Amino acid sequence: MLNIKKATGYAAKSGIKKGDRLVSMNGSPVLDFIDDGYFNSLDSVLIEFINARGQRQKTHIRKPADIPLGLEFEENLYPDESTCRNRCIFCFVDQLPAGMRESLYIKDDDWRYSVLFGNYVTLTNVDDAELGRIIARRATPLYISVHATDAECRIHMMKNRRAGKILEQLRELAGGGIVFHCQVVLCPGINDGDVLEKTITDLCSLYPQCRSLAVVPVGLTGHRQGLPEITPVSPEYASSMIDYIEEKANGFRKELGSDFLYAADEFYAKARREYPRYSDGGYYPQLSNGVGLFHEFLQSYEQALEALPEALQAPRKVIIATGVSAADQIRRMAREICRRVKDLECTVIPVENRVFGKSITVSGLLSGQDIIDSVKGMKGDVLMLPPSAFRCGADEMLDGTTIKDIERILGYCVIIAPDDGYEFACTVAGIDF
């Protein structure tokens, strides 16, 4: 039971008061924010509670679906995330070096936070009753790490017998009206080939409930001692996978009238190929998974070029630090901006990742120390750092380095680059947007 901290609105009008205890809503206990949000979204709720005198009572509330019941509880309805029960052969947490932020070592696998934040989950810790609750609570959309629908392959990859039930689970979710987006972390020689073909076919058969599928290259750090051997994604392999995925995607586009299958931007970066342009009018279902992120960035950047001034009031030298995979593209953009704006000088520094290993080339896994080592001694007015290298809403990097630390060591004015292309171009030029 939940202790009622505050009752307002429809709840107060129905006779519920502070200090009463909630027993159930529509015959079910309220376990967490999923239940609370679901019942608040209904237009008819039967509430059972125990009043301050210990008497069990029921009240039926009818209300507009978009207006909440008006109940606040003493208990925290946002519990700690459920942790992962898998031992995936490609798990990135197992490849972390020592000395990173403590929170990075937590393996989360909680479907509730998938709904809330878009975290990818495996469903291996979801039993039949909990799967039924997902459907009953209309918890959608979910973001699901599938990797393979072939049971034997998925069990091998995740080292969990329950992993083999994924296709059965997805079919049940789809039948219950739940929308979900899926990802495959592609490990060469393990879940590609016929296994990938089956995975794509199986998931497409669940469209439109399975709304999109992203294929992402496996990330391998330099800290894999004692872990299973996995072949890295080479530029040649990345290029061949782009060809395969684009051919399949074009077929789905004709068949479904919508983009369904995507190769992550990182494939294009590894293969040094032009980023794709998608057909769904700016709809990117898996931006947080690095699908379409650079295309969206480039579109807004191109709009900014025409708005830039011909010259600055004072000369400006900008240093832009970025991951190796994005360096060529960022360098091209910086050159275009400098050609349009007089008295502007930009230097793009591809930062080699020494903390995780040279094979990790994305900006989101850069450490403060690697940036400091790469930029030290250079002359400039402003140092721009990639936003993906910082914890959301904070100025702290993976190794705990802050903007103030970098400014103190290097003596630059340090700013986090905007993640919007239009704002990026304006910030490089030092103008308001």
Q: Write the pLDDT tens digit of every residue in 381-422.
A: 999 999 999 977 788 999 999 999 999 999 989 999 998 999
Least confident piece of the model among 131-135, 166-170, 196-200, 258-262: 258-262
CA distance 239 to 191: 17
Q: For position 248, what pLDDT does the model report?
A: 96
pLDDT at 106 over 60: yes
Mean of pLDDT over the chain:
93
Q: Please, what are the domains in the chain?
A: 2-73 (2.30.42.60), 93-291 (3.80.30.10), 299-429 (3.40.50)
Output 128 or 81, whichever has higher pLDDT.
Answer: 128
Q: Give me 394's structure tokens.
A: 């904070």
Is the CB of residue 10 less than 8 Å from the CB of residue 63?
A: yes
Tell me the average pLDDT across 21-37: 97
The beta-strand segments (E) located in 153-241 are: 180-186, 210-217
Which of the four pLDDT bands, split at 50, 70 and 90, describes residue 99? confident
Residue with tokens 């340090």: 414
- Closest residue by Cα to residue 243 from 192, 313, 185, 303: 192
Tell me the average pLDDT across 415-430: 93
Q: Give me 376's structure tokens.
A: 């030290």
pLDDT at 241 over 70: yes
Tell me the average pLDDT across 96-115: 90
Q: For position 282, what pLDDT does the model report?
A: 56
Q: For position 15, what pLDDT does the model report?
A: 96
Q: How many residues are given for the chain?
A: 433
CA distance 238 to 271: 5
Output 312 or 337, whichever has higher pLDDT.
Answer: 337
pLDDT at 277 over 90: no
Q: Give me 208's structure tokens.
A: 């439109």
Q: For position 130, what pLDDT does the model report?
A: 97
Which of the four pLDDT bands, split at 50, 70 and 90, describes residue 100? confident
pLDDT in tens, 41-59: 999 999 999 999 999 999 9
Cα-atom radius of gyration of the chain, to the nearest Å?
25
Tell me the average pLDDT across 284-308: 85
The beta-strand segments (E) located in 165-287 are: 180-186, 210-217, 261-263
CB atoms within 10 A of CB 170: 24
The SS3 call for residue 124 is coil
Amino acid sitting at position 31: L
Q: For position 81, what pLDDT does the model report?
A: 86
pTM of the model: 0.89
Distances (CA, A) of 409 to 126, 276, 278, 368, 373: 48, 39, 42, 11, 10
Q: Give me 235's structure tokens.
A: 């530029």
- Closest residue by Cα to residue 145 from 293, 295, 325, 286: 286
- Closest residue by Cα to residue 290 from 361, 179, 395, 215: 215
Q: Which element (helix H / strand E) includes 372?
A: helix 368-375
Which of the four pLDDT bands, split at 50, 70 and 90, describes residue 278? low
pLDDT at 202 over 60: yes
Pairing of strands 210-217, 120-121: unpaired
Q: For position 164, what pLDDT does the model report?
A: 97
Q: Give me 156's structure tokens.
A: 């091998």
CA distance 345 to 430: 11
- Closest residue by Cα to residue 288 from 262, 310, 270, 306: 262
Q: Which element (helix H / strand E) includes 33?
A: helix 33-40
Is the CB of residue 22 less than 8 Å from the CB of residue 41?
A: no
Q: What is the dihedral of CA 204, 207, 209, 214, to 10 degrees?
A: 40
Cis, peptide link before residue 276, omega less than 30° from 0: no
Is the CB of residue 100 less than 8 Å from the CB of residue 92?
A: no
Q: What is the dihedral of CA 287, 288, 289, 293, to 10 degrees?
A: 40
Tell me the average pLDDT across 118-138: 97
- Closest residue by Cα to residue 4 from 14, 16, 24, 19: 19
